[in-house]
Amino acid sequence: MTSQVRGVQLARLLGQWHALPGRRRSPDYAALAAAIRGLLADGRLPLGVRLPAERDLAEALRISRTTVTAAYRELRETGHLASRRGAGSWTMLPGTHRVASTGLWTPLDDRDMIDLGVAALSAPAQLVPAARAAAEDLPRYLGGAGYHPTGIIELREAVARGYTDRGLPTSPEQIMVTSGTQHALDLVLRLALSPGGGVLVESPTYPNALAALSARRARITTHGLAADGDGWDADLLLGSIRQTRPKLAYVIPEFHNPTGHLMATDLRERLVGAAHAAGTDLVVDESFVDLPLDGTPLPPPVATFDRHSRVISIGGMSKPYWGGLRIGWVRASAPQVQRLAAARVGVDMASPVLDQLVAVHLLAQGPSIVAARRVQLAAQRDALVKAMADRLPDWRVTVPRGGVTLWVELDGPISSALARAAEEVGVRLAPGPRFGLDGTLERFLRLPFTLPTADLVEAVGRLAAVRYDLDRTGRPQWREPSVIA
């Protein structure tokens, strides 16, 4: 499942490659090779894609073909490119760069640890009253066996109303309640993807989605999101769907985890069109849709543009309400929901009735709970951004207009080393490579702003000290080797 990048597309990604720092001292071919390595290391250029033919790239960059030939040769020598005569050249990483991208992240029971590995809020004050009210409601359900594979009707109605209010008319038959969004994703994958099927994901993306995909032995291709600007490159994203025709594409269009990007309306529409034409099912993870900050208006849901039941939306209570509730859902066509329910019976039968009733009570107060969450998150985000500007001014960040995470561009490929050192001083981090495949994204770090401001400021202070120590002990070796002659 190889996709190809055209000369003009790579030229756009390369941007000002000829004006990169240190450029004056290196020949053109070496600067070009370094810029392509940089794109690979940042996950902007996926692994396993075919690079443009030398002549095509030379024309797009308006440089000589010999320069491109020499740059490709250098990339082959450094293990970043594999070529076969007559067939082309594919991107890769040298073997030593591979890092496992999945794993269990649970906060340890260490009270001094500031846990920035988990991007989720503590429970709102309304949770306990909602739980009491749910217990009062329970007798209405006790006369039955309590198995509701698609969820209790009250909750399905409430969730369907939420979609309808967002401009996407939805009936309760189109909703299936799950035990969290992650469960929803797993069920959808069971239904829509045979083992070994092709899947396109964003890079970076949500690590537990990668875990669910590897459990299905999916063949994964990536679309590299830019840390800044619009995030998605429409041309490349749609091009890779057209070329690789994956069985499924998994996207997070609302305040993407980890970058915080919001997909524009136009791309939503074009994405659905491209998916339909390629025979690709779109799984749209709307985990953060309730959390626009600063009054940012939301584009229509991706499913608004769906005429052919190609879009399956998943979402849940974890981000706006509480992760411990374990309530999520799928929105799909009614027949798809029936098939999902049949698949679910082989897994967990149904979600707990009591928890679903708690969710109903929380959703009934949704607007006021969520409004308070947004105010809290915006204040915490601003405090984190300010603390970083004060203490770590070389780190760059595009302030997200929603969601719960900053995607920080570090001052070198040090993310894993930093995470290891930070653990020693009581800060748990999710380093960049966790959000990608094959050990890329070392120059990035996800910092959630879900903890109270005082913890965030304290964590940044500890990180600044650790960052300074990393330099003094000289542990990370990220500078280009230089020859002394």
Ligand X SMILES: Cc1ncc(COP(=O)(O)O)c(C=O)c1O
What residues does 315 pair with on adjacent strands? 329
Q: Which of 124, 316, 413, 448 binds ligand X (CB under 6 A)?
A: 316
Q: Which is nearer to ligand X, 13 or 311 (CB)?
A: 311
Q: Which is nearer to ligand X, 119 or 414 (CB)?
A: 119
CA–CA dist 75, 123 (Å, integer): 50
- Residue 390 makes CB contacts below 8 A (sequence gap 6+) with none
User: What's the Cα-to-Cα distance from 167 to each of 170, 245, 339, rounded to whole Å?
Assistant: 9, 29, 26
Q: Which is nearer to ligand X, 6 or 256 (CB)?
A: 256
* Residue 252 binds to ligand X (criterion: CB under 6 A): yes
CB-based burial label for 112 (10 Å; 0-12, 13-18, 19+): exposed
349 to 378: interface string for ligand X, x by CB under 6 A: ------------------------------
Query: Site for ligand X (CB under 6 A): how many residues?
Result: 13
* Distance, C-alpha 368 to centroid of its chain: 27
* Residue 450 binds to ligand X (criterion: CB under 6 A): no
Buried b (16+ CB within 10 A) or exposed e, 130-162: bbebbeebeeebeeeeeebbbbbebbbbbbbeb
Q: Which of 206, 255, 321, 322 binds ligand X (CB under 6 A)?
A: 206
Q: Which stretch binds ligand X (CB under 6 A): 174-182, 213-221, 239-247, 443-451?
A: 174-182
Structure tokens at 336: 């798809």
Cβ at position 327, least distance to ligand X in Å: 8
Q: Which is nearer to ligand X, 91 or 181 (CB)?
A: 181
- What backbone torsions phi and psi does residue 396 show, to the nearest 5 degrees? -115, 145
* Residue 212 binds to ligand X (criterion: CB under 6 A): no
- Residue 358 makes CB contacts below 8 A (sequence gap 6+) with 127, 130, 131, 134, 325, 327
* Residue 287 binds to ligand X (criterion: CB under 6 A): yes
Residue nearest to ligand X (CB): 180
Q: Which stretch binds ligand X (CB under 6 A): 61-69, 101-109, 175-183, 193-201?
A: 175-183
Measured on CA atoms in the order 161, 162, 165, 166, is the torsion positive or negative? Answer: negative
Cβ at position 182, least distance to ligand X in Å: 3
Q: Which is nearer to ligand X, 149 or 316 (CB)?
A: 316
* Residue 117 binds to ligand X (criterion: CB under 6 A): no
Determine contact, residues 56/102, Cβ cutoff 8 Å.
no
Q: Which stretch binds ligand X (CB under 6 A): 38-46, 77-85, 126-134, 179-187?
A: 179-187
Structure-token match 């709307």, residue found: 286
* Residue 328 binds to ligand X (criterion: CB under 6 A): yes
CA–CA dist 324, 124 (Å, integer): 11
* Residue 318 binds to ligand X (criterion: CB under 6 A): yes
* 3-state helix vs strand vs coil in the chain, percent to 5: 45, 15, 40
Instruction: Identify the three-state secondary structure at position 115.
Output: strand
- Residue 465 makes CB contacts below 8 A (sequence gap 6+) with 425
Structure tokens at 345: 């019976």
Q: Which of 154, 281, 285, 306 binds ligand X (CB under 6 A)?
A: 285
Q: Which of 181, 240, 259, 415 binds ligand X (CB under 6 A)?
A: 181
Q: Which of 257, 259, 415, 450 binds ligand X (CB under 6 A)?
A: 257
Expressed in angstroms, the distance from the first to the final Cα of the chain is 46
* Residue 180 binds to ligand X (criterion: CB under 6 A): yes
Q: Which stretch binds ligand X (CB under 6 A): 303-311, 315-323, 390-398, 411-419?
A: 315-323
Q: Which of 9, 150, 182, 356 binds ligand X (CB under 6 A)?
A: 182
- What backbone torsions phi and psi does residue 191 show, to the nearest 5 degrees? -80, -40
Cβ at position 223, least distance to ligand X in Å: 15
Q: Which stretch binds ligand X (CB under 6 A): 124-132, 140-148, 178-186, 360-368?
A: 178-186
Q: Which is nearer to ligand X, 71 or 199 (CB)?
A: 199
Q: Which is nearer to ligand X, 162 or 323 (CB)?
A: 323
Binding region for ligand X (CB under 6 A): 119, 180-182, 206, 252, 257, 285, 287, 316, 318, 323, 328
